[in-house]
Amino acid sequence: MLHKLFLTLPLLSLICLAVASPLEPRAPVPGLIDALLNGVLSTIGQLIKDVLNGVKSAQSGEISTKPLICLSSVDKCCIWYDVSKDLTGRFKGADGQCNDNARAAIRMGFHDAGAWDKYSTNGGADGSLLMDFGEIDRPENNGLQSIRLILREVQQKYKVGYADLAQFAHNHATVTCPKGPRIRTFVGRKDATKAAPKGLLPDVHDSADNLIQLFANKGFSAHDLAALVGAHSSAKQRFVEPAKANFPLDTTPGIWDVNFYNETLQKPRDERIFVLPSDEVLSVHPKVNDEWKSFVGNQPHWNEDYAKAFVRMSLLGVDNVNALSDCTRTLPVARPNGK
Ligand code: HEM
Ligand SMILES: *[C@@H]1O[C@H](CO)[C@@H](O)[C@H](O)[C@H]1NC(C)=O
């Protein structure tokens, strides 16, 4: 059955090529993932489509221990049980909360995948930031040097793909934080062959309208953006205001909670936190503010919206969605009550 499908797909595209008029300019860009999900889909392609359309949850509690006999030629998840265990040791603090490596890994997953938009011919969730194309020296990636080296060490040890590792580490770190969502986790991406395009990551001093447009070009709504920046619930800053280095962006950076949404709206602010200028302008923007407020005191709402938006993030620029594997079962268990 699958066999047949993979034979038919290239045939179909050949026919399409033959039919297209030579004068018609062919789109030079891959476009949003939604277009890819309109054709004939494998089981995994259908699952991804259902998640992106909200038909299925973007979170899953499916869990398993590594089978005694695990043939990596058949089960693409085998190695990820080992990676998962390794990352737990690196991301979980003695206090049970997620640590500095975890928050950096959360940001890493975003900065690798997010350097892409619908006009890009490369970039996205391709591991380029972990690889050797010089992206780590771009100013927007300052602070990610140490987690990059850690993840490169993990890559060396387990020989997994860079692209998959960046996203797996994000999802692992997220669920390692108490209350964090257990985001559906796919592997099988292709690694980059060059650096991601420049200028596609958000500038902390940009206007809310520009930030909303930047994310719209990646396929995210203003409400998706409201959910995504909630990752700052687990964040600290060092370079926006060096005098306040290591100030957290909410009072509980070791916990994936909705305090961030509440605390950024409070006036006066808790003086122990630092609010990024971008979060400041987004939180009060008319296209974002309603959703921002709706997350206050509503952890399940935020977790689901974040997970759904991040599944999309983790697949930006990925063109082989039908050939991916679902390895969510290798992630640590979620701790919705923080214990
Ligand atoms: C408007 C969009 C965004 C802007 C302008 C932005 C900007 C920033 C800035 C300036 C920092 C502090 C860097 C430093 O001084 O050390 C930061 C930290 C962080 N960001 Fe964002 N960010 C955005 C969206 C996101 C998204 C979508 C995610 C994840 C999905 C994310 C995850 C993080 C994390 C986890 C940290 C903390 C890193 C650490 O403590 O090591 N950010 N962000
Ligand atoms: C929001 O924060 C304020 C100030 O810390 C606090 O009094 C209030 O209870 C919080 N509200 C929610 C819903 O967490």
Q: Where are the domains of the chain?
A: 2-330
Nearest CA to ligand 1 atom 37: 235
Distance 339 CA to ligand 2 centre (A): 22
10 Å CB burial of residue 22 (0-12, 13-18, 19+) is exposed
pLDDT of residue 30: 64
pLDDT, greater one: 161 or 22: 161
Tell me which of 30-44, 73-87, 202-216 is least confident.
30-44
Query: Is residue 3 scored above 80 in pLDDT?
Result: no
Domain 2-330: assigned CATH number: 1.10.520.10
Q: Of the candidates 237, 293, 276, which has an alpha carbon nearest to the alpha carbon of residue 103?
A: 237
Mutate to test the pocket of ligand 2, among 259, 262, 292 (most ligand atoms within 8 A of CB): 262
Question: What percent of the chain lies above the pLDDT cut of 90?
Answer: 89
pLDDT, greater one: 5 or 46: 46
Q: Tell whether ligand 2 has an atom less than 6 A from the beta carbon of residue 296.
A: yes
Cβ contacts of 196 within 8 Å, gap of 6 or more: 112, 115, 116, 120, 122, 123, 124, 126, 128, 129, 133, 135
What is the C-alpha to C-alpha distance for residues 166 and 162, in angstroms, rounded to an integer?
6
Query: Is residue 14 scored above 70 in pLDDT?
Result: no
Please state the rounded mean pLDDT for residues 92-113: 98
Q: Tell whether ligand 1 has an atom less than 6 A from the beta carbon of residue 106.
A: yes
Q: Which residues are marked as active site?
A: 111
The answer to whether the annotation marks 50 as part of a ligand binding site is no
Distance 165 CA to ligand 2 centre (A): 37
Confidence of residue 7 (pLDDT cuts 50, 70, 90): very low
pLDDT of residue 338: 84
Q: What is the mean pLDDT of the chain?
A: 93
| Ligand index nearest the alpha carbon of residue 107 | 1
pLDDT of residue 22: 42
Query: Is residue 17 scored above 90 in pLDDT?
Result: no
Q: What is the pTM of this model?
A: 0.93
Beta carbons of 281 and 208 less than 8 angstroms apart: yes
Nearest CA to ligand 1 atom 26: 229
| Ligand index nearest the alpha carbon of residue 283 | 1
pLDDT tens track for 42-62: 999 999 999 999 999 999 999
pLDDT tens track for 208-222: 999 999 999 999 999
Q: Of the candidates 270, 237, 305, 326, which has an alpha carbon nearest to the alpha carbon of residue 46?
A: 326
pLDDT of residue 55: 96
At 182 the three-state DSSP class reads coil
Distance 206 CA to ligand 2 centre (A): 28
Please state the rounded mean pLDDT for residues 256-266: 98
Confidence of residue 339 (pLDDT cuts 50, 70, 90): confident
Distance 235 CA to ligand 2 centre (A): 19
Q: Tell whether ligand 1 has an atom less than 6 A from the beta carbon of residue 80.
A: no
Query: Is residue 23 scored above 90 in pLDDT?
Result: no
Bridge partners (DSSP) listed for residue 59: 183
Check whether the bond before 268 is cis (ω within 30° of 0): yes
CA max distance for the chain? 64
The answer to whether the annotation marks 137 as part of a ligand binding site is no
